[in-house]
Structure 1
Amino acid sequence: MTLYVTNPWTRRMAQRRMAQRMWEAEAENERPEVIFPVRVQAEEDAYVLTALLPGVGPEDLSVQIVNEAVTLQGELKLAREENANYLLSEIPSGRFYRTLSLPEPLDAAKAEANLENGVLTLRIPKAEQARPKVIKVNAR
Protein backbone atom coordinates (compact mmCIF):
# COMPACT_ATOMS: atom_id res chain seq x y z
CA MET A 1 0.00 0.00 0.00
CA THR A 2 1.42 3.38 -0.97
CA LEU A 3 0.55 6.42 1.09
CA TYR A 4 1.52 9.92 -0.06
CA VAL A 5 1.17 12.66 2.55
CA THR A 6 3.00 15.98 2.45
CA ASN A 7 2.00 17.63 5.74
CA PRO A 8 4.21 16.26 8.61
CA TRP A 9 1.34 16.31 11.13
CA THR A 10 -1.00 14.52 8.71
CA ARG A 11 1.76 12.05 7.88
CA ARG A 12 2.21 11.16 11.58
CA MET A 13 -1.54 10.67 12.01
CA ALA A 14 -1.70 8.46 8.89
CA GLN A 15 1.22 6.37 10.16
CA ARG A 16 -0.50 5.93 13.54
CA ARG A 17 -3.75 4.84 11.86
CA MET A 18 -1.86 2.38 9.65
CA ALA A 19 0.04 0.94 12.63
CA GLN A 20 -3.20 0.61 14.60
CA ARG A 21 -4.88 -1.26 11.71
CA MET A 22 -1.93 -3.62 11.35
CA TRP A 23 -1.81 -4.27 15.11
CA GLU A 24 -5.57 -5.02 15.17
CA ALA A 25 -5.27 -7.35 12.16
CA GLU A 26 -2.44 -9.28 13.85
CA ALA A 27 -4.41 -9.59 17.09
CA GLU A 28 -7.47 -10.90 15.21
CA ASN A 29 -5.50 -13.47 13.22
CA GLU A 30 -3.31 -14.61 16.12
CA ARG A 31 -0.50 -15.38 13.75
CA PRO A 32 1.77 -18.29 14.63
CA GLU A 33 5.25 -17.61 15.93
CA VAL A 34 7.08 -20.42 14.11
CA ILE A 35 7.13 -20.86 10.33
CA PHE A 36 8.34 -24.15 8.83
CA PRO A 37 9.01 -25.36 5.27
CA VAL A 38 6.82 -28.02 3.64
CA ARG A 39 7.09 -30.11 0.46
CA VAL A 40 4.08 -31.89 -1.08
CA GLN A 41 4.64 -34.62 -3.63
CA ALA A 42 1.82 -36.11 -5.73
CA GLU A 43 1.86 -39.83 -6.43
CA GLU A 44 -0.66 -41.82 -8.45
CA ASP A 45 -2.72 -42.89 -5.45
CA ALA A 46 -1.45 -40.66 -2.59
CA TYR A 47 0.19 -37.43 -1.51
CA VAL A 48 3.43 -37.38 0.45
CA LEU A 49 3.89 -34.33 2.65
CA THR A 50 7.31 -33.61 4.18
CA ALA A 51 7.74 -30.89 6.82
CA LEU A 52 10.90 -29.77 8.58
CA LEU A 53 10.11 -29.54 12.30
CA PRO A 54 13.43 -29.73 14.18
CA GLY A 55 13.03 -29.92 17.94
CA VAL A 56 9.35 -30.94 17.79
CA GLY A 57 8.38 -34.20 19.46
CA PRO A 58 5.39 -36.37 18.53
CA GLU A 59 3.61 -35.29 21.72
CA ASP A 60 3.83 -31.63 20.62
CA LEU A 61 2.41 -32.23 17.13
CA SER A 62 -1.16 -32.59 15.89
CA VAL A 63 -2.14 -33.62 12.35
CA GLN A 64 -5.74 -33.24 11.15
CA ILE A 65 -7.11 -34.30 7.77
CA VAL A 66 -10.55 -33.17 6.61
CA ASN A 67 -11.63 -33.67 2.97
CA GLU A 68 -8.81 -31.99 0.96
CA ALA A 69 -7.27 -30.05 3.87
CA VAL A 70 -4.29 -31.11 5.99
CA THR A 71 -3.60 -29.11 9.15
CA LEU A 72 -0.33 -29.32 11.08
CA GLN A 73 -0.22 -27.60 14.44
CA GLY A 74 1.75 -27.77 17.62
CA GLU A 75 4.40 -26.07 19.67
CA LEU A 76 8.17 -25.88 19.52
CA LYS A 77 9.38 -25.67 23.10
CA LEU A 78 12.77 -24.13 23.72
CA ALA A 79 14.13 -23.57 27.20
CA ARG A 80 15.59 -20.10 27.60
CA GLU A 81 17.42 -18.85 30.64
CA GLU A 82 15.76 -15.81 32.17
CA ASN A 83 18.95 -14.10 33.30
CA ALA A 84 20.99 -14.91 30.19
CA ASN A 85 22.33 -12.05 28.11
CA TYR A 86 21.61 -13.12 24.52
CA LEU A 87 23.44 -11.18 21.84
CA LEU A 88 21.49 -12.95 19.11
CA SER A 89 18.66 -15.46 19.26
CA GLU A 90 17.33 -16.76 15.94
CA ILE A 91 16.22 -20.16 17.20
CA PRO A 92 12.42 -20.16 16.90
CA SER A 93 10.06 -21.25 19.63
CA GLY A 94 6.33 -21.08 20.11
CA ARG A 95 3.17 -22.20 18.38
CA PHE A 96 2.90 -23.20 14.76
CA TYR A 97 -0.14 -23.76 12.59
CA ARG A 98 -0.40 -24.46 8.89
CA THR A 99 -3.24 -25.68 6.68
CA LEU A 100 -2.58 -27.01 3.18
CA SER A 101 -5.34 -27.54 0.63
CA LEU A 102 -4.73 -30.40 -1.77
CA PRO A 103 -6.52 -30.74 -5.11
CA GLU A 104 -8.38 -33.99 -4.36
CA PRO A 105 -10.27 -35.57 -1.42
CA LEU A 106 -8.12 -37.59 0.98
CA ASP A 107 -8.61 -40.87 2.87
CA ALA A 108 -7.74 -39.82 6.43
CA ALA A 109 -8.32 -43.33 7.84
CA LYS A 110 -5.36 -44.73 5.88
CA ALA A 111 -2.90 -41.86 6.48
CA GLU A 112 0.52 -42.69 7.93
CA ALA A 113 2.77 -40.25 9.80
CA ASN A 114 6.43 -40.64 10.74
CA LEU A 115 8.53 -38.11 12.66
CA GLU A 116 12.26 -38.85 12.53
CA ASN A 117 15.17 -36.49 13.22
CA GLY A 118 12.88 -33.45 13.01
CA VAL A 119 11.43 -34.43 9.62
CA LEU A 120 7.72 -35.24 9.45
CA THR A 121 6.72 -37.53 6.58
CA LEU A 122 2.99 -37.85 6.09
CA ARG A 123 1.59 -40.22 3.44
CA ILE A 124 -2.07 -39.60 2.75
CA PRO A 125 -3.89 -41.81 0.22
CA LYS A 126 -6.34 -40.17 -2.14
CA ALA A 127 -9.99 -40.99 -1.50
CA GLU A 128 -11.35 -43.85 -3.59
CA GLN A 129 -13.48 -41.53 -5.76
CA ALA A 130 -10.38 -39.42 -6.55
CA ARG A 131 -8.23 -42.31 -7.77
CA PRO A 132 -7.98 -43.05 -11.48
CA LYS A 133 -10.18 -45.91 -12.64
CA VAL A 134 -9.05 -48.51 -15.16
CA ILE A 135 -11.92 -49.84 -17.23
CA LYS A 136 -11.53 -52.98 -19.28
CA VAL A 137 -12.77 -52.62 -22.85
CA ASN A 138 -14.59 -55.64 -24.30
CA ALA A 139 -14.76 -56.33 -28.04
CA ARG A 140 -18.03 -57.65 -29.57
Structure 2
Amino acid sequence: MSSYIPFSLFDSFQRDIGRHLASRPTVQSERPPAAPPVDVVENDEAYLLTMDVPGVANDAIEVTVHDGVLEVRGERSIQTSEKYRSALQERWQGKFLRRFQLPETVDEEQIAARVEQGVLALHIPKRAQQTPRRITVQ
Protein backbone atom coordinates (compact mmCIF):
# COMPACT_ATOMS: atom_id res chain seq x y z
CA MET A 1 0.00 0.00 0.00
CA SER A 2 1.44 3.38 -1.01
CA SER A 3 1.11 6.42 1.16
CA TYR A 4 -0.47 9.61 -0.11
CA ILE A 5 1.95 12.50 -0.26
CA PRO A 6 0.09 15.66 -1.32
CA PHE A 7 3.14 17.54 -2.56
CA SER A 8 4.37 14.66 -4.73
CA LEU A 9 1.56 15.40 -7.20
CA PHE A 10 2.59 19.05 -7.30
CA ASP A 11 6.26 18.07 -7.85
CA SER A 12 5.25 15.77 -10.71
CA PHE A 13 3.08 18.52 -12.25
CA GLN A 14 5.90 21.04 -11.92
CA ARG A 15 8.38 18.64 -13.61
CA ASP A 16 5.94 18.03 -16.47
CA ILE A 17 5.35 21.77 -16.98
CA GLY A 18 9.10 22.42 -16.83
CA ARG A 19 9.74 19.74 -19.48
CA HIS A 20 6.97 21.21 -21.65
CA LEU A 21 8.32 24.75 -21.40
CA ALA A 22 11.89 23.60 -22.04
CA SER A 23 10.84 21.75 -25.19
CA ARG A 24 8.94 24.71 -26.67
CA PRO A 25 10.96 26.29 -29.44
CA THR A 26 11.80 29.92 -29.14
CA VAL A 27 11.91 32.25 -32.12
CA GLN A 28 15.71 32.00 -32.08
CA SER A 29 15.79 28.19 -32.18
CA GLU A 30 13.29 28.03 -35.05
CA ARG A 31 15.72 29.84 -37.35
CA PRO A 32 17.99 27.59 -39.36
CA PRO A 33 21.62 27.58 -38.27
CA ALA A 34 24.23 29.37 -40.34
CA ALA A 35 25.95 26.01 -40.85
CA PRO A 36 23.90 23.94 -43.30
CA PRO A 37 22.78 20.51 -42.07
CA VAL A 38 24.63 17.46 -43.39
CA ASP A 39 23.88 13.76 -43.93
CA VAL A 40 26.62 11.19 -44.50
CA VAL A 41 25.93 7.68 -45.80
CA GLU A 42 28.33 5.03 -47.03
CA ASN A 43 28.62 1.77 -48.88
CA ASP A 44 31.62 -0.47 -49.60
CA GLU A 45 32.98 1.85 -52.32
CA ALA A 46 32.31 5.40 -51.11
CA TYR A 47 30.81 7.92 -48.73
CA LEU A 48 28.11 10.33 -49.86
CA LEU A 49 27.91 13.62 -47.99
CA THR A 50 24.86 15.76 -48.72
CA MET A 51 24.41 19.31 -47.46
CA ASP A 52 21.42 21.62 -47.80
CA VAL A 53 22.49 24.81 -49.58
CA PRO A 54 19.25 26.38 -50.88
CA GLY A 55 19.76 29.78 -52.43
CA VAL A 56 23.56 29.45 -52.47
CA ALA A 57 25.06 29.97 -55.92
CA ASN A 58 27.40 27.24 -57.17
CA ASP A 59 30.23 29.75 -57.52
CA ALA A 60 29.71 30.79 -53.88
CA ILE A 61 30.62 27.27 -52.65
CA GLU A 62 34.26 26.24 -52.17
CA VAL A 63 35.20 22.64 -51.39
CA THR A 64 38.80 21.84 -50.44
CA VAL A 65 40.62 18.87 -48.96
CA HIS A 66 43.97 19.18 -47.19
CA ASP A 67 45.74 16.82 -44.78
CA GLY A 68 42.67 14.61 -44.44
CA VAL A 69 40.26 17.47 -43.70
CA LEU A 70 37.39 18.20 -46.05
CA GLU A 71 36.26 21.81 -45.85
CA VAL A 72 33.09 23.29 -47.34
CA ARG A 73 32.82 27.09 -47.35
CA GLY A 74 30.14 29.22 -48.84
CA GLU A 75 28.02 32.29 -48.62
CA ARG A 76 24.33 32.85 -49.03
CA SER A 77 23.21 36.37 -49.72
CA ILE A 78 19.60 37.34 -50.13
CA GLN A 79 18.90 40.29 -52.37
CA THR A 80 15.82 42.38 -51.67
CA SER A 81 14.42 45.15 -53.75
CA GLU A 82 15.20 48.66 -52.61
CA LYS A 83 11.47 49.40 -52.92
CA TYR A 84 10.89 47.43 -49.71
CA ARG A 85 12.20 47.58 -46.19
CA SER A 86 12.48 44.51 -44.00
CA ALA A 87 9.50 43.70 -41.80
CA LEU A 88 10.50 40.13 -40.93
CA GLN A 89 13.61 38.20 -41.87
CA GLU A 90 13.84 34.51 -40.91
CA ARG A 91 15.90 33.11 -43.78
CA TRP A 92 19.56 32.82 -42.85
CA GLN A 93 22.23 34.51 -44.85
CA GLY A 94 25.94 34.98 -44.55
CA LYS A 95 29.06 32.86 -44.65
CA PHE A 96 29.23 29.26 -43.52
CA LEU A 97 32.00 26.75 -42.93
CA ARG A 98 31.86 23.01 -42.27
CA ARG A 99 34.93 20.80 -41.67
CA PHE A 100 35.08 17.02 -41.70
CA GLN A 101 37.96 14.75 -40.72
CA LEU A 102 38.17 12.12 -43.46
CA PRO A 103 39.07 8.51 -42.74
CA GLU A 104 42.46 7.34 -44.01
CA THR A 105 40.67 5.00 -46.44
CA VAL A 106 39.41 7.91 -48.59
CA ASP A 107 40.82 8.56 -52.06
CA GLU A 108 41.13 12.36 -51.79
CA GLU A 109 42.05 12.76 -55.47
CA GLN A 110 38.71 11.35 -56.65
CA ILE A 111 36.28 13.46 -54.56
CA ALA A 112 33.55 14.96 -56.76
CA ALA A 113 30.97 17.64 -55.96
CA ARG A 114 27.73 18.77 -57.57
CA VAL A 115 24.72 20.87 -56.59
CA GLU A 116 21.24 19.81 -57.60
CA GLN A 117 17.98 21.39 -56.39
CA GLY A 118 19.68 23.18 -53.51
CA VAL A 119 21.58 20.12 -52.23
CA LEU A 120 25.36 19.83 -52.43
CA ALA A 121 26.40 16.20 -52.94
CA LEU A 122 30.00 15.15 -52.36
CA HIS A 123 30.96 11.71 -53.62
CA ILE A 124 33.94 10.60 -51.55
CA PRO A 125 35.35 7.31 -52.85
CA LYS A 126 37.25 4.86 -50.69
CA ARG A 127 40.62 3.52 -51.80
CA ALA A 128 40.67 -0.07 -52.94
CA GLN A 129 41.51 -2.26 -49.99
CA GLN A 130 44.88 -3.87 -50.26
CA THR A 131 44.87 -7.52 -49.38
CA PRO A 132 47.90 -9.00 -47.71
CA ARG A 133 50.27 -10.64 -50.14
CA ARG A 134 51.76 -13.91 -49.05
CA ILE A 135 55.48 -14.16 -49.68
CA THR A 136 56.93 -17.57 -50.15
CA VAL A 137 59.97 -18.24 -48.04
CA GLN A 138 62.76 -19.94 -50.04
Calculate the TM-score normalised by the size of structure 2: 0.63
2:61 alignment counterpart? 61
Q: Secondary structure at the match of 2:120?
A: strand
Q: Which residue of 1 aligns with 2:36?
A: 36
> What's the Cα RMSD here?
2.3
Matched, 1:72 2:56: no
Aligned to 1:114: 114
Mapped partners of 2:42, 2:130: distance in 1: 17
Any residues of structure 2 matched to 1:7-26 within 5 Å, and which? none
Cα 1:57–1:85 change in 2 (3 A) is: closer
Pair 1:92-2:89 in alignment: no
Cα separation, partners in 2 of 1:120 and 1:60, compared to 1, 3 Å: same
Task: From 113, 126, 132, give the equivalent of 2:129.
Answer: 132
Spell out, residue by residue over 1:63-102, the C-alpha distance to the aligned partner (whole angstroms, 9 max, x if none).
0112431100011121034563433211111111111113
For residue 58 of structure 2, what is the amino acid of its counterpart? P
Distance 2:81 2:104 in 1: 46
Query: In terms of Rg, which structure is larger?
Result: 2
Mind listing any 5+ residue stretches in structure 2 that lack a counterpart?
1-32
In the aligned structure 1, how far is the partner of 2:118 from the partner of 2:71? 17
Residue type of the alignment partner of 2:124: I
Q: Distance in 1 between matches of 2:42 and 2:50?
A: 12
TM-score, length of structure 1 as denominator length: 0.62
Question: How far apart, in 2, do the equivalents of 1:93 and 1:113 lie?
Answer: 22
SS in 1 for 2:109: helix
Check conservation: 1:67, 1:106, Cα contact below 8 A.
no
Q: Is the contact between residue 66 and residue 106 of structure 1 (CA under 8 Å) also seen in structure 2? A: no
Deviates more, 1:102-111 or 1:80-89: 80-89
| Percent of aligned pairs sharing the same letter | 31
CA distance in 1, matches of 2:36, 2:79: 19
Query: Which letter does structure 1 place at the counterpart of 2:65?
Result: I
